Amino acid sequence: MHCPRPHDLLWGLRPEHLPQEAPVWARAALGGHVPVVVRRAPAEPGWVAVGVRGAAREQRYAAWMRLTDISRLVSPQAVARAGRWRRHAQPNWPALRALSQLAPRLDAQGLAWGVTGSLGFELASGIAAAHPDSDLDLSLRAPHPLSRAWAGALCHLLDGAPGCIDLQLETPHGAVALREWAGEAPRVLLKTQNGPLLVSDPWQLEQVAA
């Protein structure tokens, strides 16, 4: 099991692990063995920052989980590899049609891509979370610099698929939106463990703007 990364789904957090002030709905959700989502936030050694999802869209609770309590980890890339969207009950949803269209093309390029968001949560857990209007949220591991021209070409590929698609490039220092990196702005927003930063190069953290 690798060290948990943002958007990984983790099983093992129990209602009794939450602080006393946690909402009732969060305890109820975890009582049903619902996974939590790794979020971008500082954590003490031996812990990971996570978010608990409730049934309602506005039900999101920030918490922390001990690494030793993790019983199972599913990454966005593992969700993509499993291909469960091919057996989804609603294959005509735009997000699922887009996924079916894009998956072989992304695989053909050898990209370490994954499914996140409500659809990724549903595909990994089997718990209904997506709906007909859900966006398709993707992440792409990008350990090495990618050119803006390359990002533009990938945007063009995504634009040919149905629905609304959001892809985040996961650099060693945080995440940047593919469409933003494909644009012409001299600086882009990088989501880091310690909050958002404006940078000229998401792969060079020393270039952070003051």
Range of the domain at 63: 9-74
- 156 falls within a domain: yes
- 149 falls within a domain: yes
- Average pLDDT in the 163-182 region? 97
What tens digit of pLDDT does each residue of 1-31 get? 678 999 999 999 999 999 999 999 999 999 8
Do residues 70 and 124 share a domain?
no
Res 1: pLDDT: 64
Mean of the per-residue pLDDT values of the chain = 93
- 1 falls within a domain: no
Query: Is 69 labeled as catalytic in the residue annotation?
Result: no
The closest of 182, 107, 124, 192 to 152, measured between CA atoms, is 182
Please state the domain count of the chain.
2
Res 209: pLDDT: 45
- 2 falls within a domain: no
Confidence tier at 85 by pLDDT (50, 70, 90): very high
- 49 falls within a domain: yes
Counts of helices then strands in the chain (DSSP H, E): 6, 11
Q: Which of 40, 74, 108 is the last residue of a domain?
A: 74
Do residues 96 and 137 share a domain?
yes
- 64 falls within a domain: yes
Q: Which of 74, 99, 118 is the last residue of a domain?
A: 74
pLDDT surpassing 60 at residue 40: yes
Confidence tier at 207 by pLDDT (50, 70, 90): low
By the 8 A CB rule, do 151 and 142 touch?
no
Res 76: pLDDT: 98
Which of these is catalytic: 8, 107, 133, 135?
A: 135
Which of these is catalytic: 69, 107, 137, 166?
A: 137
Q: Which of 48, 74, 100 is the last residue of a domain?
A: 74
Confidence tier at 206 by pLDDT (50, 70, 90): low
Give the predicted TM-score (pTM) of the model: 0.93
- Average pLDDT in the 67-74 region? 96
Do residues 116 and 152 share a domain?
yes
What tens digit of pLDDT does each residue of 41-56 get? 999 999 999 999 988 7
What tens digit of pLDDT does each residue of 91-140 get? 999 999 999 999 999 999 999 999 999 999 999 999 999 999 999 999 99
By the 8 A CB rule, do 134 and 128 touch?
no
Q: Which residues of 173-204 are buried (b: 16+ CB within 10 A; e: fewer)?
A: bbbbbbbbbbeeeeebbbbbeeeebebebbbe
